[in-house]
Amino acid sequence: MNTDLEKFDLACTYMKNDQNVSAYNLLVSLAQKELKKDDLKAGLYLLLASDCKAKQGKDAKEEFETAGKYYLRIAKKNNAESQYAYRCAAKCLLKAGQVDLAMKASEEAKKFIPKLVEERRTIVVVDDSPAITLRLRSYLEQLGYRDIKTTDNGKGALAIVSNLLEESQNPIILLDMEMPGITGDAVAKKLLEKKPDLSIILITADEKSEPRVRKTIGFGSAAFIQKPFTINELKNALDITENNRVR
């Protein structure tokens, strides 16, 4: 293989075929090369390698810790990428069990949030309950949001969000977990595969500790609201989402 891209393509093929040992070895090799160049791709390779290791039933804390400390190094060197790198560091270090370091990285990321007033983003409400949809629309309008799109099913959500992304928009998705057809966790996974930094707020009657909710949060969801909710809880979730947004 002549290029790193060819090696990465092969690693992805191994992953698709559940050849996780081969994929892991190739991804670690790619990561070690990029670590020397301080390239952000190193973090991606390490995270994919950790996924391969987890699929083998092994503890991936070492890979998460390496990725987290690597992102911290990048954050301290490059102001253009600092907020993104600090946020990645926080997530990786948290998964590695380095809670104190993760909290510090998260606090550092907040320092790079622009103080400019921005136009409110498009909101996509996905819920099969007309009552919940109406309540959300009312709350959102009170909070200053005007461009609000709604759908009562997962298929509709995928279509709406895909169209917005094609128009280079960056919407916030308020996503119900329990829906007929495609459930919210499946929708979240599909959307985050399309755009990993997409802003998704989960809305569910389940506890945050429920396995399905925890798994969906692990996919990369920005925030969580438990039914029944208040306008203040919605505002807090939206504020968290905006503060964690990749600029």
* pLDDT digit string, tens, across residues 161-192: 999 988 888 899 998 888 878 877 888 888 88
Number of CB atoms found within 10 A of residue 125's CB: 24
Q: Does domain 123-243 have CATH number 3.40.50.970?
A: no
Q: The dihedral of CA 30, 31, 36, 37: what is its sign?
A: positive
Q: Which residues of the chain have pLDDT under 50?
A: 1, 115-117, 246-247
pLDDT at 164: 92
β pairing state of 148-151 and 123-126: parallel
| C-alpha to C-alpha distance for 81 and 83, rounded to whole angstroms | 6
pLDDT at 163: 92
pLDDT at 148: 94
- Beta-bridged to residue 148, according to DSSP, are 123
Number of CB atoms found within 10 A of residue 147's CB: 14
* pLDDT digit string, tens, across residues 190-204: 888 888 888 888 887
CATH 3.40.50.2300, the chain: domain bounds = 123-243
pLDDT at 202: 83
Query: What is the pTM assigned to this prediction?
Result: 0.49
The CA distances from residue 240 to 31, 141, 156, 166, 223, in Å, are: 31, 18, 26, 25, 7
pLDDT at 207: 62
pLDDT at 121: 86
Fold exhibited by the domain 4-110: 1.25.40
pLDDT at 150: 94
CATH 1.25.40.10, the chain: domain bounds = 4-110
pLDDT at 217: 58
